Amino acid sequence: MDGLIQGRTVHYVLTEQDAMAINQQRKAVNATFLTERVPGLQYHVGNSVEPGEHCAAVVVKVWSKENGYINLKVQLDGQDDYWATSKSYGEKHEPGTWHWIEKA
């Protein structure tokens, strides 16, 4: 895939499992955020996500340029991100795949 390099921004489509993991982690942190805050610790605080949501993601590892297999750091609406590993290119924008950002 031409242009597929580390640092490139693409879109990742969240799966049901991705959304559940992100939301559960944020819910657990929000329950203790005000009472047990530890300096220097990464807290997963932000708005909830939905399956099928298209999120900006930065390519952090290219496993196969020919097949489009990559690892991503998915940018979330909050102070954290989500590590999506071994994801493939999805021309039809299926959940669990990445695609090039659509033109505005």
- String of b and e for 22-61 (b: at least 16 CB within 10 Å)? bbeebeebeeeeeeeeeeeeebbebeebeeebbbebbbee
Domain range summary for the chain, segments of one domain joined by +: 9-99
Q: What is the pLDDT of residues 82-93, one digit of tens each?
A: 999 999 999 999
Between these two residues, 104 and 20, which has the higher pLDDT value? 20
Q: What is the pLDDT of residues 28-75, one digit of tens each?
A: 665 555 566 666 666 667 889 999 999 999 999 999 999 999 999 999
The confidence score (pLDDT) of residue 42 equals 62
The confidence score (pLDDT) of residue 85 equals 97
The yes-or-no verdict on residue 19 having pLDDT over 90 is yes
- Sign, CA torsion 82/85/91/92: negative
| Amino acid identity, position 8 | R
